Each structure stands twice: as structure tokens, then as C-alpha cells.
Amino acid sequence: MFSNRVVKAMGISRMALYLKNNEDDVYHLIETKIPEGHEEGLKIPLKMMASDEQLSHVLEYEVTEIPEGHTFLDFKFTIAVRFNNKNRTIGISFLGEKESDLEYDREDMDLLKTFSNQFAIAMDNALAYKQIKEMNVSLEEKIKERTQELEDALTNLKHTQAQLIHVEKLAGLSEMVAGIVHEINNPLSFIKANLALLLHRHKKSSEDTINKNEFISSLDSSLIGVSRIEKIITELKNFSKLNEADTKEFDLHQGIDAMEYTFLNQFKNSITLEKDYKSTKKTYGNPREINVAVLELLKNAVDAILRKKSAGKIHISTYDKENSVILEIQDNGNGIPVEIRDKIFNPFFSTKDVGEGTGMGLAEAFGIVEQHRGRIEFETEVNQGSLFRMILPSYGQETSL
């Protein structure tokens, strides 16, 4: 304690220390030191607080001798020492007579000034520490609040993203349904026409007069139509993999062939499809999710071709490289401008007009492939087209998904 140091160093009988509180602008008693043999001075307690007005007679100088019989103090003090910090009084100490009964000399006064300066510096450091501590607490609270805000925003963003992915899937499903309806409608139409013709002739003719060859031909034609519908349903099952486990070994080609019937066939009059399967390996993962990723890449290729408004071509190829199965989808569409190439996999990024897309297609494909320990690369040239490359680990090389 400060009082202990001063009393011991100078051989003083008693000491009291007051510090000024900036909030109420009043001096508060914080320390007293009465050495053994001087307890009689405490028969009447010290005042716990004092104002500038009450202490005005000792605040004028740094070290002041206290007038005889001063009424503020309840027992005798001889010297008052003022503590200043940046030209502002921060405290005052009262010192009793010296135990040697000698008067305070110039050397004592200089020593008291030194103590005063040291105390002011210590108080300044303590105040700075307190302010820094308060600032740290405030900063921690602000960081905590900001972190919570960011976590809430991230949660909302993930929720929104999940909703948009769902919307994107519904949009993709809508396009597939349109293609499936188109593919099923054709064979259904001539099956219906054949059955209607046979029924009409049966009503107007006797059983013996129905042309046997024509009857067989109509049935054969209808069976071909039924087979086409059966093929579409089979490929649709291959695409959705509804009857298979979430993760398994699977053939990437089955999903691509399924998409030819369920999605690409609706564009067969404007887009030529070429396939070149050279991969002999299987991959491992969730077939449904991988098919969704492939579908998003195919939709991107179709959109690029339709925007260019010219005869289109999509070339799909697969091959094996070391421990990977690689799928490449190349189109001759409008390509990707340089300024947006680093954004195409970002969630919500879209070059379509408002209301035409959510900007989640390529982002979803990128996320699915990344979850399967793979990656997507692309090459593109404006007005020439793009090539998207999906690289997946071959079966036996994957890590746990």
C-alpha cells in the first residue's frame, strides 16, 4: 500500500489518503495508516468524504503545511500532499508529525514530491488499465453480439439457400416432366390411334372379314409404343434411383442415359447429342445426388445453346484417369464472359433475367461433387462454347462420404 511506504520511509506518525471520484467530484477516504503507539489519534473517526471547498486551503500547492486547529480533520495532521495528473488534482494525502518530533525540512518536502509524482504515475497507469479493461469487456461484448448476429445471418442464409435449392430442384423436375410428357405422348398417341382403328373396323365388319395382317401390324406398332413408354419409365427409375441405397457403387453412364430420355429428348430437334463412353470404372456415392449434379451441368449447356439461338451440339464423354472417373460435357453455346467466370459457382449468382432462375444450379452441382470428394473444372470461350469436367473418385478410391 502507498501509505505503508510513505510512513515507513519517512517515520511518520499517521497518514490518511483521499482520492477524487470523477463521477461525484468528491474526495473519498481510501487508506489510513496509524503505526503502533499512535492509536489515540483515532478516538474520533476521520471524515469519509470531502469536497474541493472543504480542502481549498490545502489544494493551492503541491505540498502544504496544515494550519493549526483546522476544523475538517478530526485529529492532528501536519502536512498535506496534493497528487496531480495532467494538471488535474486526483487525490490528497494528510501526514502527521514525524516520530522523531523534528519538523519537516526541504529534503522531506522533496521526498514527498517524489512520492507524489510516483503515486500520480501509478494512478494514471491504474486508470489506463481500468479503461483498457473496460474497453476489452465492451469489445468482447460487441464481438459476442456481432458473432451472434453473423451466426443468425448464416442460419437464415442457409435456410434461404436450402429453400432456393428446393425451388431449383422443382424447376428442374418441371423441365424433366415436360420432356417425359413429350416422350410418352408420342407412343401413346399411335397406340390410341391403332386401338381406335381396330375398334372402329370391328364394329363395322364381321370377325371373318377383319384383315389379319393389318390387325397384327397394329398390335405390333402398339407394342413398340408400349416398349418405348416402358423404356422411359426404366430410365426415369435409373435417374431417380428410388429403389437403391443412399450410397453405393454405381455406373455413371446409367444416369446419363436416363437423362437423355427424361430431359434432353425434348430438345432433339434443335440440339444434337453425341456420347463417347470410354470409362470402364464405377464410382461410389449417392446416385440420386450425382444425377442431380449432372442434370444441372446439362441444363447449363442447354441454356447456353438456346441463348446463342443457333444449331446446338452437346458432346458427352467419359474416361478414366488414374484413380478417377471423369465426365466431360461440352457445348457450342455462347460461352462464359471473363468478368463472371469466378462467380458461376457462387450461390444465388445467375445471368438469367429475374424470375427465370435462382442461381443455385451450378452451386448445387459444385457442392454435391465436392461432398463426394470430387471437383468440377471448366474451360470456356465466348461465342464458342464451354466444357465442364466432373472428376469423381473411382470405386475403391473413395473415402467415407
Q: Give mean pLDDT, residues 363-387.
A: 92
**Residue 172: count of CB within 10 angstroms of its CB:** 18
Q: Give mean pLDDT, residues 257-272.
A: 84
Taking the C-alpha atoms of residue 319 and residue 252, their distance in angstroms, rounded to an integer, is: 11
Is residue 26 pLDDT above 50, yes or no?
Answer: yes
Which fold would CATH assign to domain 2-104?
Beta-Lactamase (3.30.450)
What's the confidence (pLDDT) of residue 121? 79
Taking the C-alpha atoms of residue 237 and residue 231, their distance in angstroms, rounded to an integer, is: 10
User: Cα separations (Å) of 328 from 141, 235, 300, 324?
Assistant: 51, 21, 13, 13
3-class secondary-structure state, position 358: coil
Taking the C-alpha atoms of residue 127 and residue 142, their distance in angstroms, rounded to an integer, is: 22
Beta-bridge partner residues of 100: none
164 versus 145: which is more confidently predicted? 145
User: Cα separations (Å) of 182 from 196, 267, 401?
Assistant: 21, 10, 37
- Contacts of residue 38, defined as CB under 8 A and 6 or more positions apart, other chains included, come to 13, 14, 96
Architecture of the domain delimited by 245-393: 2-Layer Sandwich (3.30)
Is residue 275 pLDDT above 90, yes or no?
Answer: yes
Q: What percent of the chain has pLDDT over 90?
A: 18
- Contacts of residue 158, defined as CB under 8 A and 6 or more positions apart, other chains included, come to none
Q: Give mean pLDDT, residues 157-179.
A: 62
Beta-bridge partner residues of 394: 283
Is residue 97 pLDDT above 90, yes or no?
Answer: no
C-alpha cell at 281: 470404372
**Sequence ranges of the domains in the chain:** 2-104, 245-393
pTM: 0.48
365 versus 388: which is more confidently predicted? 388
DSSP tag of 245: -
